[in-house]
Structure 1
């Protein structure tokens, strides 16, 4: 009897976590939309800018793969980001025919300022947890992100 009750509680908690993750996804999407509007960036442009900042410098093909966007779409995104001085295109030092894209530091600082409120809130939230709890939460979020990547890849392939 106890194991059935424990299984029910675990199912309820799992559903609650999934609901919270959906709410988080919506709230982060709304935050990103507001940041993009303040910075005069389209949502897709902001996503690509974040990918370049996190994993760059990147070539357009790699950015296309990471963003899940058609190469022609990436060309338009990069044209806008370069025109508005968010990124610069440079020759790849290892292959003079290739181009690498990197974020311009001064504009990157502008975006950090727009996310400052959320970053402060995250610091406040995290301060309420022990190191062991933060390690557990970090591992959970890493595994959820990986599950999301796998689900995305499966949909893209099928």
Structure 2
């Protein structure tokens, strides 16, 4: 890809960046609405689904680490974990290295229920991807991964700033 840095090229890049940011914000809203529906069907709050997804994807972690990762107050995390444990989504196990510590683990097989609830989105994405070539899909996948990382970095920076640290 070549980049020519004239005024019209910079203006065009700014316009594309604005269009992409607007589309990502619209996608965020739509995914939030979908997540709310998934949570309702699974009898979970939105935040419960988010925390389950974090533990399921990133592996066992302490409640404190999960609270930090989810951007939640530890007292709020206790309520989330109580609901998830009651529903059979997670277990809290004693840490073998430190018997005072607890590790949160996703219950095997529960993720399949969420996969089923997200099946409509998965089908839509499959249909959308069918219209693109391999190189285009690799580019889109790379962009989404990088956009996700940018989002995580922005989240971490805001969380650090809110807690009085330096961003």
In the superposition, the TM-score normalised over structure 1's length comes to 0.90
Q: Please state how far the C-alpha of 1:3 moved relative to its aligned partner.
A: 3.8
CA displacement 1:65-88 (0-9 Å, x = unmatched): 110111111111101110111111
CA displacement 1:34-60 (0-9 Å, x = unmatched): 000111111111111111111121211
Aligned pair partner of 1:111 in 111, 114, 129: 114
Deviation above 4 Å: which 4+ runs of structure 1?
Answer: none
**Who is 1:98 aligned against?**
101
**Who is 2:164 aligned against?**
none
Within the alignment, does 1:125 sit opposite 2:128 as a pair?
yes
Aligned pair partner of 1:143 in 126, 131, 146: 146
> Which ranges of structure 2 fall in alignment gaps of 5 or more residues?
162-167
Q: Please state how far the C-alpha of 1:7 moved relative to its aligned partner.
A: 3.1
In structure 1, C-alpha distance between the alignment counterparts of 2:101 and 2:20, rounded to whole Å: 44
TM alignment of 1:1-158, pairs within 5 A: 3-158=6-161
Name whichever structure is richer in helix by fraction. Answer: 1
In structure 2, C-alpha distance between the alignment counterparts of 1:146 and 1:107, rounded to whole Å: 26
CA RMSD between the two structures: 1.8
> Which ranges of structure 1 fall in alignment gaps of 5 or more residues?
none
Q: Tell me the number of residue pairs that the alignment of Structure 1 and Structure 2 aligns.
A: 157
In structure 2, C-alpha distance between the alignment counterparts of 1:40 and 1:157, rounded to whole Å: 32
In the superposition, the TM-score normalised over structure 2's length comes to 0.85
Q: Could you tell which deviates more after superposition, 73-82 or 99-108?
A: 99-108
